[in-house]
Chains A and B, each alone.
Chain A
Amino acid sequence: KAGVTQTPRYLIKTRGQQVTLSCSPISGHRSVSWYQQTPGQGLQFLFEYFSETQRNKGNFPGRFSGRQFSNSRSEMNVSTLELGDSALYLCASRGQFSGANVLTFGAGSRLTVL
């Protein structure tokens, strides 16, 4: 099975711009979760989508949004970028492994905001 694919891998934006990140989950997985990882805060949960519906949401401002398409691919969008949005954005596909719901991560999209 192909793994979780995230694009782009690296991007540089300036304050005030917006960005869209894409994630294709493992084939057959319908759940996609997004996390933000920064050195100071660790892995912070952004949101989870299942069958095109947002199932869970973390404590991030409304500038962070996402969606999921019928083929389970997901996108997340950050509008009005701030310097503090510089981070590694990780997408994870959720599926069953040894009786537990397990996350498999993509390689991440590293966003730098200047």
Chain B
Amino acid sequence: QKEVEQNSGPLSVPEGAIASLNCTYSDRGSQSFFWYRQYSGKSPELIMSIYSNGDKEDGRFTAQLNKASQYVSLLIRDSQPSDSATYLCAGYSSASKIIFGSGTRLSIRP
């Protein structure tokens, strides 16, 4: 079992809709979680970090963490074509490593 798992997609969402990206993790000792966005040919860039149960909002992005279910999600409201990218979920494990999922490819269709 991978430490951080994501559906590889592609996930296709119409412009203006809400995109929902999900991630599960196996290490119960993981404390912090991150969402990175990676455009094709570019390196990952941080969108949000979250370490408390519940929701954290930043503009059009909302990260959700449920430690009991070992589940992290990212919601993107009012999706734009510029949101088309691969989204990487990462967790700060109990071994003090930041482990990434394999990423979900998101496509926003006009």
Q: Is the interface of A mostly helix, strand, loop or mixed?
A: strand
Contact B49 A98 (CB under 8 A): yes
Instruction: Provide the residues of chain A in CB contact with B88, threshold 8 Å.
Output: 42-43
Contact of A42 among B45, B46, B49, B100 (CB under 8 A): B100
Contact B97 A103 (CB under 8 A): no
Number of B residues near A (Cβ < 8 Å) is 21
B96 touches A (CB below 8 Å): yes
**Please, how many angstroms separate the alpha-carbon atoms of A1 and B21 in the complex?**
32
Contact A102 B46 (CB under 8 A): yes
A-B contacts, 29 listed (Cβ < 8 Å):
A35-B100, A42-B88, A42-B100, A42-B102, A43-B44, A43-B88, A43-B100, A43-B103, A45-B100, A55-B96, A56-B95, A58-B97, A90-B44, A94-B98, A97-B46, A100-B34, A100-B49, A100-B51, A101-B32, A101-B98, A102-B46, A102-B49, A103-B46, A103-B98, A104-B46, A105-B45, A107-B42, A107-B43, A108-B43
